[in-house]
Amino acid sequence: RSNELGAWDRDHLFHPATEAGAHTRGEIQTRVISGGKGVYITDKSGRTFLDAFAGLFCVNVGYGRQKIAEAIAKQAKELAYYHAFGDYGTEAPITLSKMIIDRAPAGMSRVYFGLSGSDANETNIKLAWYYNNVLGRPGKKKIISRWRGYHGSTVMTGSLTGLELYHKAFDLPRTPILHTEAPYYFRRPDTTMNGEQFAQACVDMLEDLILAEGADTIAAFIGEPIQGAGGIIPPPTGYWSKVQSLLKKYDILLIADEVVSGFGRLGRMFGSDHYDIRPDLITISKGLTSSYAPLSGVIVSDKVWQVLVKGSDELGTIGHGWTCSAHPICAAAAIANLELIDEMDLVSNAHDTGAYLRSALAEALGNHENVGEVRGDGLMAAVEFVEDRDNRIFFDASKKVGEQVAAALLERGVIGRAMPQGDILGLAPPLCLTRHEADIIVESTLKAVDAVFVR
């Protein structure tokens, strides 16, 4: 059976975000995951791993939660599907929309459901365009994103994503997308700057871009409260308040992409509340169902909603929606998941155990000569490796140092993730992590680092 699976996998499964042919050439052997409980997953050979990346930053409640499985089964038995177009709807997504608005930052009023973070960001772009059309300024169309931002991999959201890997080989349309600098303090070009000065420098660059393009051509700015897939990069002090004032000045919408930070990851229900951001639109997915079922959403502020309502008088139906928008099974999974987050007090745990994990990591690795920085926020941490710490010499990308450390960590039974650009090991375990499990992650990371950088 496992031989058969191996052959089918090699010959038929097109793995996402993977080099084509790598399986056929035997360079990658799929590890087939067959079970999970808490922060642990098990593969088909019976080996168990501590998943210190929660799948792909998404299994917030941990694996094997029966409550969610039962909610999914119950919904599937009662009513697996009905759509939500026009005068139809089902109970679960209606209840869920209320639960989300109750938890969302102030000023939010509606939830538009999709199935992936990518499609939710597509919705954001279209809503920003529609919004400006209603307001009689159809020229306000460009969207500003940041280098190292991750917003998806569809045609438009792949363009938004500020990682070359996601657009280069496809010739994705660059217009109407613009990129500005990431607030990546560790790699700031001028090391004499403190965090606040660097935040100001980033915002000045953003303003230069807005002025060069013309504010009347720019619809929205999108950013993750803390950059995730681009390297786990927390914003420097004051960054978001400065960005927000600037966007207000030029009447540009703010889209907070909370696909990773939403639902507790930063020790608050939403990253926007954590960093005191007041977005016009919020993208959610991942932690909404802990990825027990595919579900995403755009949380729409009342400000934007009122304009959409006004527009509908003139433009009629908003021609945007998928067959499986507001899917009842996915919504039932989300309801059970949000209840579990509350019952298990996972938001507070992310705050407390996150602080514990990051401080233990900094203590164990902060002085290592090949560690440039240990950073993060809540239950997100990154260790960035450097060739020469004192002289800020970075490794040649071809050495793939992050991948080497992640592989050494895997050998020790812990899954971390090498971030796609740079020598960075990312850690973002499920929010149910205990201190004992955090200790295991830190000890294993230290051993992995020592194995890669033999002193």
CB of 56 to ligand PLP, least distance (A): 6
Considering the complex, state which of residue 56 and residue 410 has its C-beta at the smaller distance from ligand PLP.
Answer: 56
CB of 428 to ligand PLP, least distance (A): 10
Considering the complex, state which of residue 285 and residue 445 has its C-beta at the smaller distance from ligand PLP.
Answer: 285
150 sits near ligand PLP (criterion: CB under 6 A):
yes
Kindly tell me the burial class for residue 126, based on how many C-beta atoms sit within 10 Å of its own C-beta (0-12, 13-18, 19 or more).
middle
**Contact between 158 and 167 (Cβ < 8 Å):** yes
Concatenated DSSP letters of 361-397: HHHHHTT-TTEEEEEEETTEEEEEE-SBTTTTBPPPG
Q: Which secondary structure element, helix H or strand E, spans residue 97, and what is its range?
A: helix 91-103
Instruction: Determine phi and psi for 191, rounding to 5 degrees.
Output: -75, -5
377 sits near ligand PLP (criterion: CB under 6 A):
no
Site string for ligand PLP, 209-238 (x = CB under 6 A): ---------------x---xx---------
Instruction: Please state, in angstroms and rounded to a whole number, the distance separating the CA atoms of residues 158 and 292.
Output: 24
Per CB under 6 A, the segment of 254-262, 356-364, 385-393, 447-455 that binds ligand PLP is 254-262
Per CB under 6 A, the segment of 78-86, 146-154, 405-413, 420-428 that binds ligand PLP is 146-154
DSSP alpha helices (H): ranges in 107-251? 117-134, 155-160, 195-213, 239-249
- For residue 119, which amino acid is it? D
- For residue 383, which amino acid is it? V
Binders in 255-294 for ligand PLP, by CB under 6 A: 257, 259-260, 285
422 sits near ligand PLP (criterion: CB under 6 A):
no
122 sits near ligand PLP (criterion: CB under 6 A):
no
CB of 265 to ligand PLP, least distance (A): 11
Instruction: Please state, in angstroms and rounded to a whole number, the distance separating the CA atoms of residues 455 and 111.
Output: 53
Considering the complex, state which of residue 96 and residue 446 has its C-beta at the smaller distance from ligand PLP.
Answer: 96
Considering the complex, state which of residue 418 and residue 448 has its C-beta at the smaller distance from ligand PLP.
Answer: 418
Handedness of CA 191, 196, 201, 206 (dihedral sign): positive
Among all residues, whose Cβ is closest to ligand PLP?
Answer: 117
CB of 115 to ligand PLP, least distance (A): 8
Q: Site residues (CB under 6 A) for ligand PLP?
A: 56, 116-118, 121, 150-152, 224, 228-229, 257, 259-260, 285
